[in-house]
Chain A
Amino acid sequence: MANSQQNYFEMFGLEPNFSIDIPKLSSKLRTLLNSVHPDRFASSGAQQQMLSMQKTTQLNDAFAVLKNPVKRAQYLLHLKTGIDTAKDHTVNDPEFLMQQLELREELEDIVAGGNISRLNQFADKISELEESQEEQMSELFARQPLNTEELEKAIYKLQFLHKTLSDIEQAEDKLLS
């Protein structure tokens, strides 16, 4: 069973890196969940069953963080440096924010026009931006010593791109319904 003192990466037998093989992570999760499944402890005492439920929750929590690139980056930065980027704060990066504003305007136009193929093209464009941002994140986390300022920037950039992607998903649902 996983030890509760382990960090999320250790729980899955991983080194603390930003790059993660998600399909592998998913299958590892299934194996681990199976090994701690409460049914296995049906004949054990109440304490053992409670423990197995606790482990199940911990594994699911860890998986939810590791599979999400924003949460994974925030967790990893916190693990390595103690810096907390999950709290509410304002960023002041006019050039980047102007670009984000323009992307949201573009999305608004597309939704108003109701053209699903344009929306798909736009989704591809944002996904590409997101992927290159994730690549940059991997490189930043691989550097020694860590450039925390650059990492904090890379994290908020990923957060804004993620928000745009989730807006796109909502727009898709709207246009297709």
Chain B
Amino acid sequence: MAYSEKVIDHYENPRNVGSFEKTDISIGTGMVGAPACGDVMKLQIKVNEQGIIEDAKFKTYGCGSAIASSSLITEWVKGKTVDEAQTIKNTQIAEELALPPVKIHCSVLAEDAIKAAVKDYKEKHGQ
């Protein structure tokens, strides 16, 4: 299967790979997995006092599309509020990366990961 140029770019030069300290109060961590392909995705956001996402990091074990989807979404959420970040749809990711139908679930995984990260952050702050 041919990957789009954008997928290859994010796959070969992934943005924001790494980790934040999970227990830090300003960090929200989302852990999701796709059993059908065995992909595992960890996505973390660092949120400032104004509720803006200052930084984001990810670690993904999976195919090129899963890595590209998580790389792209970490770029997109920076500068957004946590509520705005939650509104990102997998279809936007799939469109940007020109994912073929069989790889749409990789973008779903990234959407679910950011939602899980925001949920974790909100739970830490009693919201």
Within 8 A of B (CB), among A49-89: 85-89
| Bound-state Cα–Cα, A174 to B36, Å | 24
Q: Does B34 contact A (CB under 8 A)?
A: yes
Give chain A residues whose Cβ lies under 8 Å from the Cβ of B31: 92-94, 97-98, 101
CB distance from B79 to the nearest CB of A (A): 26
Contact: B38 with A162, CB < 8 Å?
Answer: yes
Give the chain A neighbours of B37 by CB distance below 8 A: 163
How many of chain A's residues touch chain B, expressed as a range? 20 to 34
Chain B residues within 8 Å of chain A by Cβ, number: 18
A164 vs B40: C-alpha distance in the bound complex, in angstroms?
Answer: 11
CB distance from A126 to the nearest CB of B (A): 12
Q: Report whether A91 and B32 are in contact in the complex, using a CB–CB cutoff of 8 Å.
A: yes
- What 8 A-B pairs have minimum CB-CB distances, sorted nearest first? A163-B38, A156-B35, A88-B105, A159-B35, A104-B61, A94-B31, A97-B31, A90-B112
19 more A-B residue pairs beyond the given contacts A89-B36, A98-B42, A100-B40, with a C-beta to C-beta distance below 8 A: A89-B34, A89-B35, A90-B32, A90-B108, A91-B32, A91-B33, A91-B35, A92-B31, A93-B33, A94-B31, A97-B31, A97-B32, A101-B40, A101-B59, A104-B61, A156-B33, A160-B35, A163-B38, A164-B38
